Amino acid sequence: MRFQVIRQEIDVRPIQARLLERRRSKLAYIRVLSFPDGAADRLERATARLVKLGARGAILDLRDNPGGLLSQAVDSVSVYLSEGIVCRTDGAHEEDRSYSVTGDASYPDIPLVVLVNGGSASAAEIVAAALHENGRAKLVGDRTFGKASVQSVEPLSNGGALKLTTAKYVTPRGVDLSASGVRPKVKALDDPLTRRDEALATARQTALTLVRS
């Protein structure tokens, strides 16, 4: 028996969003699974939809997000932050560079909580650190993975390519993420033996406190 397999691109949506309601308080819950091309636009649209439904605060869930494009990390931070540096690069053989927000934030004032864990890596860590260090969001969860390498691809004469790690990303304050990851001050861990999402419950309570303050 023979089967014909056809290759094609499958669009896996990187954003899952819903409204959380509790005691007449509404929060936007946005789970970002990765940062592929177009993720920031989807993040902005999801936030807009939930704010229109009455959300007064937002939870950005980056747990188990392995990262993605740096450009999408910068644009995602720019949805919520109107001014500031997202990250910098630091390398022995590469010129240092700073990446700043676009300055066109759609929601610069909505109370914001970012939820992370040990599976949050790369671009997800950049987003979390940028929003936190610029005083834009509260961090909740557990220490992130600690992956912040900048890689360059050099074409070879035989048609192949050589990928080299040439620099590292550091936070706006100069923290090397590869050494320590991002460490939330509000610790929250899930109990694998329960159906309840304890970390999300802590993030929700933190967001409600911000909304009421």
Active-site option among 76, 78, 138, 147 = 147
Question: Quick one: which of 150, 201, 156 has its CA closest to 176?
Answer: 150
Q: Does 149 participate in catalysis according to the annotation?
A: no
Question: Quick one: which of 127, 111, 13 has its CA closest to 61?
Answer: 127
For residue 19, give every residue at least 6 positions away whose Cβ sits within 8 Å of its Cβ, in sequence order, or none.
Answer: 26, 27, 28, 29, 50, 53, 54, 55
For 14, 36, 37, 40, 178, the CA distances from 68, given in Å and listed in that order, are 10, 5, 8, 11, 16
Q: Does 122 participate in catalysis according to the annotation?
A: yes
Active-site option among 34, 76, 120, 122 = 122
**C-alpha–C-alpha distance, residues 30 and 47, integer Å:** 8
With b for 16 or more beta-carbon neighbours within 10 A and e for fewer, the 4-26 pattern comes to eeeeeeeeeebbebeebeeeebb
Q: Which helix (H) or strand (E) holds 189?
A: none
Residues classed as catalytic: 122, 147
